[in-house]
Structure 1
Amino acid sequence: MDFRTIFSAIGALTVALGLAMLLPALADIVYGNDDWLVFIASSLITTILGAGMWAASSGGSRSELNLRQAFLMTTMIWVVLTGFGALPLYLSDLGLGITDAMFESMSGITTTGATVITTLDTSPPGILLWRALLQWLGGLGVVVMAIAVLPMLRVGGMQMFRAEAFETPDKILPRAAGIASAMTTIYCILTFTCTIAYWVAGMEPFDAIAHALSTVATGGFSTRDASLAAFDAPAIHYVATVFMILGALPFILYVGMLQGSFSQLFRDSQVRLFLLLLAGATLVVTLVQIAQDLFAGEVAFRQAVFSVVSIMTGSGFGIADFSAWGPFVSCLFFMIMFIGGCTGSTSCGIKIFRFQVLARDLYQHVRQIAFPNLVYVKRYNGRPLPDSVSTSVQSFVLVYIASFFLLAILLGISGLEPLESLSTAATTISNVGPALGPDLGPAGNFAGLSDASKWLMTIGMLVGRLEVLIILVLFTPRFWRA
């Protein structure tokens, strides 16, 4: 395997990450915080090492990017950027060790939103902005990966979403620039609009910027220990809800909207099902709050729609402790953690598309049992659904669920209670953020866990964000054979 192509791409992205560290340094300077030195030092280290990696691997002839290189490069990018992203967190005055810094960085890059920092209200502005930037950059990376890389790798049925620019694997590098440019434009427009909306709704400019970066990325990092509950303004909560939904819709359809095809977004079957599931779950949770005399009226609705959207999209923001709403709501939220948002978005989970494919496979199987001679053609959005996509989706879901149970068992061995290990494994592999329970739920954090539990969660966040199968392939001996 020729590693020069891989290291060249990783080096370029590492340089970009190092330059991004100058933004929180500037924020610390503006607010008079001495932590700007930490970001300057981290930026120099990251940029120099990244530039060296790029320079050392960019010369000479290189082979085109093949499937093996794409699998390895995708994984290495997330691991390397997480390590460099943890540098300012480790060097800061927060007192984070290697384990906590890597946990926080991985949570940011994978847009999980789980945190081990318990002093957000008094943390330096640079650190708060850096956490938000990690999620914003990670969210953009997820979108590009879902549109450019996963269809090429045929992971989890993503070949259904192959763009014409990616008909052959060797087109990934030159064509990715055009796709990434369109995605970045849409991403920036949504982020800017969200920032203005937060500011108009009552947030201070710095909080508006930090939360917008995290909201559009469906990440969940906040500048306050109480998350968005610290902002006692219903308008802010509704703004967050709207942009969490927008972040969980397919970004490739936004490109079509920019080209004038506005109806495309609402004709998409996974978008319609996603919105229907959100509405149904919101109605149920609202009625539960009213029936139990917890909240009523607009407050019950706002807390329900915000919490449902936050959990299902994997954002992880909180305005209320839903673990106190009874076991039924906890079970409901546990299930929708796995569903996630739409394919090609910044959201997490198994994704709506895959559940639709499984439903069509089940329907076909039942029809064949009842009517053996009937020919049934599976379709998705009017297009025939190949058997290869069904097989890929079934394999993905099987490995996904198996990974969840394995992670839950390992977390239990590391010291967590059964409910905590199950909900923590679910929120980790689905990149959601909060788990269930008073200590690990939306009103708590993961600071009290053992180092072993945190490292297991760190690995689980990576596995979940990289769609499980990418990691699994790297551990097969045949992958490394020439």
Structure 2
Amino acid sequence: MSFVIFTNGLLLLGMGALMGLTAALFPDSSGVFIESAILTFFIGACLTLVSSSGRHRLRRLHSFALTGSVWITAAAAGALPLWVWDLSFTDAFFESMSGITTTGSTVMTGLDSTEHGILLWRAILQWFGGVGFIVAGIALLPIMRIGGMQLFRTESSERGDKEFASAARFASATIWVYAALTALCAFCYISGGMTGFEAIVHAFTTLSTGGYSTSDSSFGLFESAYLQWTATGFMLAGALPFAWYLRVLNRGVIRSEQVQGLVVMLAVVILGLTLWRVATSETPFFEALRLVAFNVVSVVTTTGYATADYTTWGPFAVTAFFFLTAVGGCTGSTAGGAKMMRWIVLVRSIRSQMGRLHSPSGIFPTRYEQKALKQDVLDGVMTFFTFYLVTIMVLGAALSLFDLGVSTSISGAITAVANVGPGVGPVIGPAGNFSTLPDGAKWLLSFGMYVGRLEMLTVYVLLFPAFWRAA
């Protein structure tokens, strides 16, 4: 396990460097970040020194421990500046875990007057959390066969292009695409009237589908139609598979079943809710279309921005947003949720099973990307959905012990596990935040964000004693 310890040490050194950079950029907050950087550097140096002599080849079992530990380490280190600054340790860890998992739930208020260094730090956590999950999705999760993630190989260009033949090269190319899209997003925001600081922060949190903002009003602060449509487009861009971008750039291959599925689903839902909004209010069609498109894309891509309190749009809209919370973006993107790939496989698997019931002697293979899926892939997808549902139910029940109410408990569990951000209801809905929740509930939600970001099984396998005996 020395390699796991060594990697966590390197992560702390990197985060210490980011704290030092933030201190240099914003002298008003330098004390907070310098103190945090010193402690982070010290712990990171100790971990790397004590484990450097024992480095060896990463075994498959160690991949689980590595993947599970780096997010805890990153969240704990990310919480340090927030704790030194002003927040309680519980609030700081919640905010940091929400950031590093790109969930976007927040306990902070008064963001409009908060020091720029703190606001940028939250955005940095989300940006690196987003790219970190892409790299993990490319390099580790398919190997560990988590919840059907081996299907991600069919979305990558590893087998079709020699220049992306290794996971390292593939990850490097993906990071460049991610950075380029972020820069383009920031440029578009500036051209729409944002300040340079607002543009950088929102570009970081848009492409990472994280949703942290510089204002308590979230993206509603910017009433420009141009900015809202721009954000809608880049939120969707962050929720598309980054392997798909590489396929388009390298081979001109546009076809992807999960991209098509996500786009079609969004179009149908947006049109339906827009017509509902026009029919039940005096909102003009194009204004309704903009508001619905922004908020639906924000929820489905698990970004969590809000330009309106959609819980006031009527019970039909509230119900729709409640279910959209669990959908998620595409596999291999920065988005959370169950992922469109799994929903496609689930629907087709149910259809195949219905065919077998109707014609027991017939052959009804479940296909994805024109290939018949093996049973272990189907088992992985079904296992994921089982754990996904059970985790939400148990977490919701645990939250209800704090007398939070049904809507807060259930939507809080879903929004944490799906890494969405806002829930439903007056407390944690788009018009509220998580600051009023008791500390126990915040720790439960932090755990929900953690297991949701790591696809559940990656974390749960670490709880079995047999794993540690084998390791």
Q: TM-score range by the shorter chain?
A: over 0.9
Spell out, residue by residue over 1:175-216, the C-alpha distance to the aligned partner (whole angstroms, 9 max, x if none).
543232112111100100000010001100000000000000
| Alignment match, 1:91 | 84
| Alignment match, 1:422 | 410
Are 1:134 and 2:125 matched, yes or no? yes
Letter in structure 1 aligned against 2:39: I
Letter in structure 1 aligned against 2:422: P
Asked whether the equivalents of residues 152 and 162 of structure 1 are also in contact (C-alpha less than 8 Å), the reply is no
Letter in structure 2 aligned against 1:286: T
Q: Secondary structure at the match of 2:307?
A: coil
Q: Secondary structure at the match of 1:59?
A: helix
> What CA distance in whole angstroms lies between the structure 1 residues aligned with 2:39 and 2:247?
40
421, 437, 442: which one pairs with 1:454?
Answer: 442
Q: How far apart are 1:85 and its partner, in Å?
A: 0.3
More off after superposition, 373-382 vs 77-86:
373-382
List 4+ stretches of structure 1 deviating above 6 A. Answer: 163-167
> What CA distance in whole angstroms lies between the structure 1 residues aligned with 2:376 and 2:61?
20
> What CA distance in whole angstroms lies between the structure 1 residues aligned with 2:172 and 2:44?
22
Q: Would the alpha carbon gap of residues 13 and 165 (structure 1) be closer, same or farther in structure 2, given more than 3 Å must change?
A: farther
79, 82, 86: which one pairs with 2:72?
Answer: 79
| Alignment match, 2:431 | 443
| Alignment match, 1:41 | 35
Are 1:6 and 2:1 matched, yes or no? no
Are 1:293 and 2:274 matched, yes or no? no
> What CA distance in whole angstroms lies between the structure 1 residues aligned with 2:75 and 2:403?
26
Q: Secondary structure at the match of 1:221?
A: coil
60, 82, 93: which one pairs with 1:67?
Answer: 60
Letter in structure 1 aligned against 2:107: V
Letter in structure 1 aligned against 2:315: P
Q: How far apart are 1:294 and its partner, in Å?
A: 4.8
> What CA distance in whole angstroms lies between the structure 2 residues aligned with 1:50 and 1:295?
55
Q: Secondary structure at the match of 1:202?
A: coil
Asked whether the equivalents of residues 165 and 175 of structure 1 are also in contact (C-alpha less than 8 Å), the reply is no
| Alignment match, 2:420 | 432
Q: Would the alpha carbon gap of residues 304 and 165 (structure 1) be closer, same or farther in structure 2, given more than 3 Å must change?
A: closer
14, 17, 23: which one pairs with 1:16?
Answer: 14
Mapping for residues 76-225 of structure 1, pairs under 5 Å: 76-92=69-85, 95-162=86-153, 175-225=166-216
Letter in structure 1 aligned against 2:16: G
| Alignment match, 1:315 | 303
Q: Secondary structure at the match of 1:13?
A: helix
| Alignment match, 2:464 | 476
Spell out, residue by residue over 1:140-181, the C-alpha distance to the aligned partner (whole angstroms, 9 max, x if none).
0111111111101100101122389999xxxxxx95432321
Q: How far apart are 1:384 and its partner, in Å?
A: 2.0
Asked whether the equivalents of residues 157 and 247 of structure 2 are also in contact (C-alpha less than 8 Å), the reply is no
| Alignment match, 2:346 | 358
| Alignment match, 2:162 | none
CA root-mean-square deviation: 1.6
Q: How far apart are 1:372 and its partner, in Å?
A: 2.0
For these two proteins, the number of residue pairs brought into alignment is 464
Asked whether the equivalents of residues 152 and 166 of structure 1 are also in contact (C-alpha less than 8 Å), the reply is no
| Alignment match, 2:259 | 271
Asked whether the equivalents of residues 138 and 171 of structure 2 are also in contact (C-alpha less than 8 Å), the reply is no
Asked whether the equivalents of residues 157 and 243 of structure 2 are also in contact (C-alpha less than 8 Å), the reply is no
Q: How far apart are 1:13 and its partner, in Å?
A: 1.7
Are 1:246 and 2:237 matched, yes or no? yes
Are 1:55 and 2:49 matched, yes or no? yes
| Alignment match, 2:26 | 28
| Alignment match, 2:383 | 395
> What CA distance in whole angstroms lies between the structure 1 residues aligned with 2:58 and 2:340?
30
Q: Would the alpha carbon gap of residues 384 and 402 (structure 1) be closer, same or farther in structure 2, given more than 3 Å must change?
A: same
Q: Would the alpha carbon gap of residues 166 and 293 (structure 1) be closer, same or farther in structure 2, given more than 3 Å must change?
A: closer
> What CA distance in whole angstroms lies between the structure 2 residues aligned with 1:218 and 1:435?
16
> What CA distance in whole angstroms lies between the structure 1 residues aligned with 2:47 and 2:2?
9
Letter in structure 2 aligned against 1:6: V
Asked whether the equivalents of residues 148 and 166 of structure 1 are also in contact (C-alpha less than 8 Å), the reply is no
Asked whether the equivalents of residues 158 and 170 of structure 2 are also in contact (C-alpha less than 8 Å), the reply is no
> What CA distance in whole angstroms lies between the structure 2 residues aligned with 1:284 and 1:228?
23
> What CA distance in whole angstroms lies between the structure 2 residues aligned with 1:388 and 1:476?
21
> What CA distance in whole angstroms lies between the structure 2 residues aligned with 1:238 and 1:24?
30
More off after superposition, 269-278 vs 47-56:
47-56
> What CA distance in whole angstroms lies between the structure 1 residues aligned with 2:444 and 2:283?
37
> What CA distance in whole angstroms lies between the structure 2 residues aligned with 1:91 and 1:370?
64
Asked whether the equivalents of residues 349 and 430 of structure 1 are also in contact (C-alpha less than 8 Å), the reply is yes
Q: Would the alpha carbon gap of residues 389 and 234 (structure 1) be closer, same or farther in structure 2, given more than 3 Å must change?
A: same
| Alignment match, 1:171 | none
More off after superposition, 126-135 vs 282-291:
282-291
Asked whether the equivalents of residues 24 and 125 of structure 1 are also in contact (C-alpha less than 8 Å), the reply is no
Asked whether the equivalents of residues 418 and 452 of structure 2 are also in contact (C-alpha less than 8 Å), the reply is yes
Q: Give the TM-score taking structure 2 as reference length.
A: 0.96
> What CA distance in whole angstroms lies between the structure 2 residues aligned with 1:105 and 1:9?
20
Letter in structure 2 aligned against 1:86: A
Q: Secondary structure at the match of 1:162?
A: helix
Spell out, residue by residue over 1:361-383, the C-alpha distance to the aligned partner (whole angstroms, 9 max, x if none).
11111111222222223221112
Q: How far apart are 1:15 and its partner, in Å?
A: 1.2
> What CA distance in whole angstroms lies between the structure 2 residues aligned with 1:175 and 1:45?
36
Q: Would the alpha carbon gap of residues 294 and 80 (structure 1) be closer, same or farther in structure 2, given more than 3 Å must change?
A: farther
Q: Would the alpha carbon gap of residues 342 and 286 (structure 1) be closer, same or farther in structure 2, given more than 3 Å must change?
A: same
> What CA distance in whole angstroms lies between the structure 1 residues aligned with 2:408 and 2:237?
30
Q: Would the alpha carbon gap of residues 359 and 336 (structure 1) be closer, same or farther in structure 2, given more than 3 Å must change?
A: same
Q: Secondary structure at the match of 1:199?
A: helix
Gaps in structure 2 of 5+ consecutive residues: 160-164
Q: Secondary structure at the match of 2:140?
A: helix
| Alignment match, 1:346 | 334
Q: Would the alpha carbon gap of residues 165 and 204 (structure 1) be closer, same or farther in structure 2, given more than 3 Å must change?
A: closer
Are 1:233 and 2:221 matched, yes or no? no
More off after superposition, 285-294 vs 237-246:
285-294
